[in-house]
Amino acid sequence: MIDFDHARSNMVDCQVRTCDVTEHELISAMLSVPREEFVPDCLQPLAYIDEDLLLDDISSGKRFLMQAASFAKLAQLASVEKDDVVLVVGSGSGYSCAVLSLLSSSVVAIEEDEALVEFSTDTLSRLGYMNVAVLKKAMSAGYSKEAPYDVIFFNGAIEVLPNVYFDQLSEGGRLVCVEGVGNSAVAKLYCKNDSLVSERQVMNCSIKPLPGFEKPKEFAF
């Protein structure tokens, strides 16, 4: 029998704290959320390893639960506050939504994969994360109905960031994403002030991609 509480504590101590994640509320949230509940039963013994986990048992495409260290660094970059409304782009299995819900006022998540929408909604509801709503929507369009958002968090790498997301960001809002492919991808923080958006490149960060944000193919003549 696996002691998941012990495994969770080890994950935070050995994977999260060691990568310069120091935000107390974020660490507390990651110690609280049962990561093993956000993967298929067959993957529960692997829920706390230091790798991305392929969710092929509950996803029709190649979607992953992000490695804990990468998620923690990106979540810390967002500087989520208690009154914030957060948009998560790509709910995946719902783990990131659960963690961010403990840091914020509410979380809206959009997801295209119907199986992931069902899994994340059921899991979040069963575990009592009542300030999260997961919606089946085209991720490239954002979700203007509940905009503006104080934080927009991309739960996977993208090649192109649609401008529509800047329209859905509040004054003083932060958008965190990883742009690029593989080891050349870069984590970026966008901030909106006086209706202008500034961009800061923060670190190299290799995470698995979200579908629907690929660069258009260029034709060679």
Q: Look at the chain and count its residues.
A: 221
Q: Which CATH number fits domain 4-204: 3.40.50.150, 3.40.50.2000, 3.30.540.10, 3.30.750.24?
A: 3.40.50.150
Can you give the pTM of this predicted structure? 0.96
- pLDDT of the residue at 73: 98
**What separation in angstroms does the CA of 138 have from each of 22, 70, 72, 154?**
34, 24, 25, 13
Mean pLDDT value across the chain: 95
- pLDDT of the residue at 218: 67
- Token pair recorded at residue 84: 């914030």
Note the helical H segments in the chain. Answer: 4-11, 24-32, 68-78, 95-103, 114-127, 164-167
**What separation in angstroms does the CA of 5 have from each of 2, 21, 44, 47?**
9, 20, 13, 12
Domain boundaries, the chain: 4-204
Q: Which residues contact 117 (CB under 8 A, 6 or more apart)?
A: 91, 111, 134, 135, 136
Q: Report d(CA 34, CA 95) in Å as an integer.
A: 9
Read off the pLDDT band of 1 (50, 70, 90): confident
pLDDT (mean) for 14-24: 97
CB-CB contact of 50 with 73 (8 Å): no
- Token pair recorded at residue 90: 């790509």
Q: How do residues 37-82 score in pLDDT, each as one tens digit?
A: 999 999 999 999 999 999 988 987 789 999 999 999 999 999 999 9
Name beta bridge partners: 187.
178, 203
In terms of Cα–Cα distance, which of 10, 33, 218, 21 is closest to 124? 33
